[in-house]
Amino acid sequence: LTEVYSSSPALGRYFRSAEVISFSNESSTVIYQLVFSVPPSPEGFMENSMNPDFIRNILRQNIYDED
- The answer to pTM > 0.95 is no
- What pLDDT score was predicted for residue 47? 75
- Give pLDDT tens digits for 1-42: 999 999 999 889 999 999 999 998 888 899 999 999 887 776
Bridge-partner residues for 35, per DSSP? 17
- What pLDDT score was predicted for residue 34? 93
Cα 11 from Cα 18, distance rounded (Å): 13
SS3 content of the chain, % helix, strand, coil (to 5): 35, 25, 35
Please state the domain extents for the chain: 1-65
